[in-house]
Structure 1
Amino acid sequence: MNLNITGHHVEVSPAIREYVTNKLDRVIRHFDNVTSVGVILSVEKLKQKAEVTLHVRGKDIYVESDDVDLYAAIDSMVDKLDRQVMKYKQKAFDHNHDALKHQSTEL
């Protein structure tokens, strides 16, 4: 998996990089089909923004979150991403399960 963390108007310190990496590991542990992850951290006046694009086979999952604190924005982004990944995983499982179920009824 390829992880790219960039900052717009904010320096990505080793502490921030480690925090984002640890949070994303929790999400990626659920789902092993992740090919690459792009994270953009930005500051706009009083708003801290965190965005992530997760590339999986057949789909890109994009999530963004903003808050007055960058760490809170990252936490919120990871929670949203976790929900999206679980939803995608469930949809893929249901699709494969329905295909197998349909094949067994045809025989």
Structure 2
Amino acid sequence: MRIETYGQQIEVTPALREYVEEKLQRLGRHFEQSLEVRVQLGLRKPSHHATADLVVPGKTLHADADGENMYAAIDLLADKLDRLILKHKEKQQDHHAPRVVSDAL
């Protein structure tokens, strides 16, 4: 998994970069292919803001989150991305499922 973390009008410290990578590593369990994630961290007074674009096979997923501190925003962002991936995978599986026609008449 490739994770690119950058800041908008803030400096991304090694501790923040490491925290983002730690939290987003769990997203890799959903796909065997390599994933690419771009994370942007910034301030929107009075809250902290985290945004991510996740490239999965066939689509780019986007999520953003606000928190009272940057770590809380990153936690929320990771949860949102996890739910988005599960929703995307369900749509993929439902799309390819055979249709069942009942003969109730």
TM-score past 0.5 threshold: yes
CA contact (8 A) 1:34 1:57 kept: no
Tell me what 2:103 maps to. none
Rounded to whole Å, the distance in 1 between the matches of 2:34 and 2:82 is 13
Does the C-alpha gap of structure 1 residues 71 and 22 become closer, same or farther in structure 2, counting only changes over 3 Å?
same
Rounded to whole Å, the distance in 2 between the matches of 1:83 and 1:70 is 20
Tell me the matched-pair count: 100
Tell me what 1:37 maps to. 37
Deviates more, 1:34-43 or 1:82-91: 34-43
Q: Secondary structure at the match of 2:10?
A: coil
Rounded to whole Å, the distance in 2 between the matches of 1:83 and 1:52 is 13
Tell me what 1:78 maps to. 78
CA contact (8 A) 2:41 2:50 kept: yes
CA contact (8 A) 1:67 1:73 kept: yes
Q: Let me know the Cα RMSD of the aligned residues.
A: 1.7
Rounded to whole Å, the distance in 2 between the matches of 1:83 and 1:31 is 14
| Percentage of pairs with the same residue | 41
- Structure 1 consecutive aligned stretches of length 4 or more whose deviation exceeds 6 Å: none
Tell me what 1:105 maps to. none
Corresponding letter in the other structure for 1:40: Q
CA contact (8 A) 1:4 1:38 kept: yes
Tell me what 1:89 maps to. 89
Higher helix share: 1
5+ residue gaps, structure 2, are: 101-105
Superposed displacement of residue 35, structure 1: 3.7
Tell me what 1:25 maps to. 25
